Amino acid sequence: GENVEQHPSTLSVQEGDSAVIKCTYSDSASNYFPWYKQELGKRPQLIIDIRSNVGEKKDQRIAVTLNKTAKHFSLHITETQPEDSAVYFCAASLKGAAGNKLTFGGGTRVLVKP
């Protein structure tokens, strides 16, 4: 089955700096890669996703890149703000197939220091 590795497990950045989180996956058939943000005591919320037919996607200060050959994808947050402090999870799945399900990485705890 799919295995997703996420690094780093914790990340501390100064407000205004950039944050980068990297994930690798094992199943070359996976074609959908979402990122979730989970604030303390709250549900995971989808912040951005990318499908295997594109290499990069951007939404304001957040961008995701995908390298299918290397089987890795990354989340980039620019101009970080204190409200970006949360745990971020990457995931991978094979969309469109029976039994498609998300496999999550271990999570990255991001702390943005004012």
Partner 1 sequence: SAVISQKPSRDICQRGTSLTIQCQVDSQVTMMFWYRQQPGQSLTLIATANQGSEATYESGFVIDKFPISRPNLTFSTLTVSNMSPEDSSIYLCSVEQGVGTEAFFGQGTRLTVV
Nearer to partner 1, 58 or 101 (CB): 101
- Check residue 107 and give left, alpha or beta (phi > 0: left; psi -120 to 50: alpha): left
Does 2 engage in binding with partner 1 (CB under 8 A)?
no
Three-state DSSP class for 4?
strand
Distances (CA, A) of 92 to 31, 41, 79, 82: 7, 24, 26, 27
- For the chain, the farthest-separated pair of C-alpha atoms sits apart, in whole angstroms, at 46
CB of 16 to partner 1, least distance (A): 28
Does 101 engage in binding with partner 1 (CB under 8 A)?
yes
11, 27, 103, 111: which one contacts partner 1 (CB under 8 A)? 103
Give the total residue count for the chain. 114
| Two tokens, residue 11 | 């990340």
Number of residues that bind partner 1 (CB under 8 A): 22
7, 11, 22, 49: which one contacts partner 1 (CB under 8 A)? 49
74 touches 22 (CB < 8 A): yes
Which of the residues 6 through 45 are near partner 1 (CB under 8 A)? 32, 34, 36, 42-45
Q: Which stretch binds partner 1 (CB under 8 A): 22-30, 52-60, 77-85, 98-106?
A: 98-106
Please give the helix or strand (H or E) that residue 25 lies within, else none: strand 19-25
Q: Which positions lie near partner 1, rule CB under 8 A?
A: 1, 32, 34, 36, 42-46, 49, 89, 95-96, 99-107
